[in-house]
Copies of this chain bind each other. A is one copy, B any other.
Amino acid sequence: MRRVFVAGIGATKIGEHWERSIRDLMVESSLNAIKDAGIDKKEVEAIFVGNMSSGYLQGQEHLGALLSTWLGIPGVAACKVEAACASGGAAFHNAFLAVKSGVYDCVLAVGVEKMTDAVTSDLTSALIMADDQEYVAFAGFSFVALNALVYRAYMKKYGAKQEDIALFAVHDHKYAVNNPLAQYRRAITLDTVLSSPLVADPLRLFECAPTGDGSAAILLCSEEKMKELGLEAEVEVAASSVATDILSLHDRDDLTTLVSTRRAAEKAYKMAGISAKDVDIVEVHDAFTILGVIHLEDLGFAKKGEGWKLVKDGEIEKDGKVPTNLMGGLKARGHPVGATGIYQIYDVALQLFGKAGPNQVDDASIGLAQNVGGVGGTVSISILKRVR
């Protein structure tokens, strides 16, 4: 099968972009990626836009054609890809398949979401669409409440304590300080987290990813196209996978594991020809602290029930065994939902290109990004590999 390479990456700062629309954000990140590659934008043949809620929140669909128009390259193939908060990862997977197929040689995967214009009740309604509306939302569940259930179940089953799990948020903020694109560039303490308002028992406000606006883009090219464009192949997409699970928690056997992560990881590790121990740098979808912990386990970096120990023991730090979310994660870099999957791949690529600044991991050569939709209804995993 054809090899697929990262030709360029681009992103906007995540935050409250009152002065700019969803259109502006995705155009900015796309142009940044094209500029990063140093190619003419007319080389782009197809665009896949990851986004969850533009119809509901902005009254705007058809983002593919909107973006190709405003990028100044109408004509290319384009569509929006949606898989709840895994929309970015799913868009990347489609872009990967597009190059792999041989039909396209130069493809943009873009993620975008604009959340801060919306009032909280609308955002709550938008986010619960990630689960089964008729069975879950009608029963009164919000998305935060579902994750609080998982939190309780995990603590009960494994005897883990909130003060250990909540450390994930402290970790994210520590690294976001050095990320110019992060939404919250300030360090926090465990006390700040545990004394922050209770959102859905036991989840505290500072254990939850914030709402934010942002867009990120990855330009993918085939091996032939890289040569034709005179680009040096530095980072390869070694694997891209997507797996689903039963959509709602009430039908699952176990609330404390995401089967979709395990399935997607199994496929991705096999495709890349590696195992968990080969991974140098990790991005996990820690929309809530408890999820970050669970993901470390489901990805194979810790035994079940012991993910929090990695956090507590400093093993997810820059110099630890499993350097994780070194640009701030969802908690501090931010979580513009449909864009997050692409931001994660952006951050992994930054490390592999050696451009992560003060947060750079020495000799990082294999990185993994895990993007989750709903409470694991969909999981996308991307593995990038430095080839130079």
Residues of A within 8 A of B (CB): 1, 21, 23, 46, 52-53, 55-56, 58-66, 68-69, 74-84, 87, 90, 93-94, 96-98, 100-104, 125-126, 129-134, 137, 241-248, 251, 259-260, 263, 373-374, 377-378
Q: Say whether A62 contacts B243, CB under 8 Å.
A: no
Q: B61 near A130 (CB under 8 angstroms)?
A: yes
Q: Specify how many copies of this chain sit in the oligomer.
A: 2
Contact of A374 among B62, B79, B82 (CB under 8 A): B62
Closest B residue to A138 using CB positions: B59
Find chain B residues with CB under 8 A from A62 CB. Answer: 82-84, 129-131, 247, 373-374, 377-378
The answer to whether A244 touches B125 (Cβ under 8 A) is: no
In the complex, besides A66-B132, A79-B242, A97-B101, 12 extra interface pairs with C-beta distance below 8 angstroms are: A23-B134, A53-B55, A55-B129, A59-B125, A59-B133, A66-B377, A69-B247, A74-B259, A75-B244, A75-B245, A79-B93, A100-B103
> How far is the CB of A244 from the nearest CB of chain B, in Å?
5
Q: Which residue of B lies closest to A251 (CB)?
A: B69
Residues of B within 8 A of A103 (CB): 1, 97, 100
Query: Contact: B78 with A79, CB < 8 Å?
Result: no
**B241 and A65 contacting across the interface, CB-CB below 8 Å:** no
CB-based contact A242/B66 at 8 Å? no
In the complex, which of the residues B61, B81, B241, B251 contacts A79, with contact meaning CB atoms closer than 8 Å? B81
Question: Which 4 residue pairs are nearest across A and B when measured between Cβ atoms?
Answer: A65-B377, A100-B101, A77-B242, A61-B129
Grouping DSSP codes into helix (H, G, I), strand (E, B) and loop, the A interface class, with mixed when no group exceeds half, is mixed
Q: Please determine whether B69 and A133 come into contact, CB atoms closer than 8 angstroms.
A: no
Q: Which of A76, A84, A87 has the most CB of B within 10 A?
A: A84
Are the C-beta atoms of B247 and A65 separated by less than 8 Å? yes
- Once the chains are docked, how many angstroms separate the CA of A251 from the CA of B70? 11
> Taking A79-B83, A378-B62 as contacts, is the C-beta distance between A68 and B244 under 8 angstroms?
yes
Interchain nearest-CB distance for A358 vs B (Å): 36
- Judge whether B378 and A75 touch: CB under 8 Å: no
Residue of B nearest to A51 (CB): B82
Q: Which residues of B contact A63 (CB under 8 A)?
A: 82
- Chain B positions within 8 Å of A81 at CB level: 79-82, 94
Bound-state CA distance A23–B68 (Å) is 31
User: Which of B46, B79, B97, B129 sits near A82, CB closer than 8 Å?
Assistant: B79
On chain B, the residues within 8 Å of A94 by CB distance are 79, 81, 94, 97
- Name the residue among A65, A77, A97 with the largest chain B CB count within 10 angstroms: A65
A83 adjacent to B80 (CB under 8 Å)? yes
**A93 CA / B68 CA spacing, docked (Å):** 17
| B residues in contact with A59, CB < 8 Å | 125, 129, 133, 137
Shortest C-beta distance, A32 to chain B (Å), equals 21
Chain B neighbourhood of A134, CB < 8 A: 21, 23, 60
Q: Which residue of B lies closest to A65 (CB)?
A: B377
Task: Check if A83 sits within 8 Å of B100, measured CB to CB.
Answer: no
Partner of A83, one of B64, B75, B101: B64
Q: Are B56 and A56 in contact (CB under 8 A)?
A: yes
Establish whether residues B55 and A83, one from each chain, have CB atoms under 8 Å apart when the complex forms. Answer: no
Closest to A74 in B: B246
